[in-house]
A and B are shown apart, each in its own frame.
Chain A
Amino acid sequence: MSDEHLVPPGARFVGTREVGTAEGFVDTPEHDLGLSSPRGKQRRSEWVQLLLEALHYRVTQVGLAMFLLIVTLVVVGPYVAPHSPFEFVTDPYAKPSAIAWLGGDCLGRDVLSRVLCGGRSVLILSFSATAIGMVLGVSTGLVAGYARTVVSEVIMRGLDVLLAFPQIVFVLLLISVLGPQRWLLVLGVGVTLAPPIGRVVYGTTMNVKEGDFVLAAESLGVSHLEIISSEILPNIVSPLMVEFGLNLTFAIGTIASLSFLGFGMQPPAPDWGLMINENRVGLVIQPYSVLVPTALIAILAIGANLVTDGVAHAMIGLERDTGSA
């Protein structure tokens, strides 16, 4: 990294990167996972090893349970909902009754049914955004790592500039003219998630590129693609898994926030973020219409974060075991 960053790059990532790890920063660019070739092959199954190791931790177990609980709810929900999420079944803000177990929402629709159908968008959009962020980050990092100094400097500076916007503000900027379209949301959030990934990949790529083995391989005519897949990717899988978890957590938060602000799913769609917004006027009379979607979003996000923490623990544990610096 350039000497301009006197603080570890982790700190540059305005507050979003340090969470979830028990050992302070998972300062992954500096984190050398060992790059000599013979290890390369072993690394391929490392991520499986990592996951299994992570499951030993209480934190992962609890987190996974929470996360899977919500996912199950989201998948199964629409099939077990007692009413259609659009149907008017009771009075606006009605208290729980036999017809509506969690009461009525602002228009008298069944809160329970809407909750059961309302998680799909958050989950799908968050995953998509995270995936896009990963893809963008990995490709940017690889390109920056392989390119000449000038180009890679420009790319890394570009990533830094992106980090100058709070996630939400960036997406709001995009929405401001084109309107709240779902693909734009996913793309926007994805783009803001990419920079940290880019850095991780860039750092690893740089290190690997200069390793003796690679120079040797290059002189042997091994293609870049093979080098990437056999040397670079295996080395970044573990930290990338942690990054994926962190990104997913933040994607959930940002997407839910955008829905809450009214820029995500539009009425009459059942969507947890939207429900919280449209029902909060009646918060005092009918708390369930706000409380339940809030709790579900919270459980989903916390679960994702706990699993990420477990995986990070495991990664550090594994390194200690394998003796890599």
Chain B
Amino acid sequence: MLSPVLKIILRRLAFGLLTLVVISVLVFAATQALPGDTATAILGKSATPERVKVLEKQLGLDRPLYEQYFSWVAGILRGDFGNSLVGTMLPVTQMIGRRLMNTLALMLIAALIDVPTALVLGSLSGRFRDGLFDGFVSVGSLTFAALPTFVIGIMLILAFATQILQILPAVSRIEPDASVWSQMDLLWLPALTLALASAPFAVRMLRGSMIEVLESDYVQMARLKGTPERLVLQRHALPNAIVPFIQVVALDLAWMIGGVVTVEYLFNFPGIGALLVSAVSDRDVPVIQALVLLIASAYVVFNLVADILTILVTPRLRTGLQ
């Protein structure tokens, strides 16, 4: 008989898979199954009868919808996302390849800045809630949380790369041959922007969970028993704060995927966010499909991982503190 934990995990996995399928249908529907003539809509003003026919052939629009969908999915499972519709018509996977690495590097750096900072700020404001520090952090979080990401980016550019200090480059251009890691100074500003944009939410969540943990029974018990505060934090509070911490990291990364779009565009960073923007401008449907699928799947996966890790960690913790 399957353990209940395993059952829950499997159920989550199944749900995750179902979500992915639904997402694929959504993406397909939004780009290829619209009422009216898709090819003409894509071509817009340059729609001549010949071009429409060629595009229809290319996207397979002349076949029945379910056939289109299944062959599209089959292609994706094979790793074939088709070819770009514009310019030199490269295979989509080729276009995405290196850019994906760049975006992941950017997100990683941003997370490395954001998570530790949020951990410190969140825990401290939770620990000393309603104090001066907490109020300060609170206002800061409210401010940054409200700002659209690109506004944060521009403010950073104004501060660091142009007006005030001319330290960091205002545009990221990864030179050919060199990997992203060898040109770190081009990553700082966009990474910092992403970090500042996501931090408020992480701070909030960690603060909340810190408060919750500090008010929990076992912490109260430990305090009543006379355990020094330091040990209370170490042995009881922090371990229990891990659960939301995992969620925070996962959600943080998931959230960054959305922020990456405007940040990469602003800094001209060669990642998938910037690619998505130009693909939408060009109505480059195969690229758009691939990127949106990629992004949405990443979301689902991150959430899934957060959930599963949480499931795995929690019972252990509970038994551990018996």
Contact = CB atoms under 8 A, between A and B. Distances in A.
B204 A283 contact: no
Interface in B158-186: 158, 162-163, 170
A178 B201 contact: no
A18 interface: yes
A283 B147 contact: no
Interface string A285-303: 0010011001001100110
Interface string A210-235: 00000000000000000000000000
Interface string A10-47: 01101110111111110000000000000000000000
B194 interface: no
B294 to A, nearest CB: 10
A152 interface: no
B141 interface: yes
B42 A177 contact: yes
Contacts of A176: 30-31, 279-280, 283, 285, 288
B30 A164 contact: no
Interface in B37-69: 38, 41-42, 44
A54 interface: no
Contacts of A15: 198, 201-202, 251-252, 254-255
A165 B149 contact: no
A182 to B, nearest CB: 16
B281 A297 contact: no
A166 B27 contact: no
B303 interface: yes
A256 interface: yes
Contacts of A164: 19, 23, 296, 299-300, 303
A305 B259 CA distance: 19
Interface string B145-162: 111111100110110001
Interface residues of B, number: 80
Interface string A158-197: 1011001111110011111111000000000000000000
Given A15-B198, A164-B23, A177-B34, A297 B255 contact: no
B8 interface: yes
B100 interface: no
A283 B292 contact: no
Contact of A169 (B8, B170, B296): B296
B146 to A, nearest CB: 4
B138 interface: yes
A179 to B, nearest CB: 7
Given A11-B247, A164-B300, A167-B258, A24 B277 contact: no
B110 interface: no
A301 B146 contact: yes
Given A14-B255, A22-B138, A284-B162, A298 B300 contact: no
Interface stretch (A73-81, A87-95, A259-267): A259-267
A314 to B, nearest CB: 15
Contacts of A11: 205, 244, 247, 251
Interface stretch (B76-84, B208-216, B217-225): B208-216
B201 A24 contact: no
B90 interface: no
Contacts of B146: 19, 249, 253, 298, 301-302, 304-306
15 contacts: A6-B8, A11-B247, A161-B26, A165-B299, A175-B280, A177-B283, A178-B34, A179-B44, A249-B145, A253-B149, A262-B281, A263-B280, A283-B158, A284-B162, A309-B142
Interface of B: 8, 11-12, 15, 18-19, 22-23, 26-27, 30-31, 34, 38, 41-42, 44, 138-139, 141-143, 145-151, 154-155, 157-158, 162-163, 170, 198, 200-202, 204-205, 207-209, 211-212, 243-244, 247, 251-252, 254-255, 257-259, 261-262, 265-266, 276-277, 279-281, 283, 285, 288, 292, 295-296, 299-300, 303, 306-307, 310-311, 314
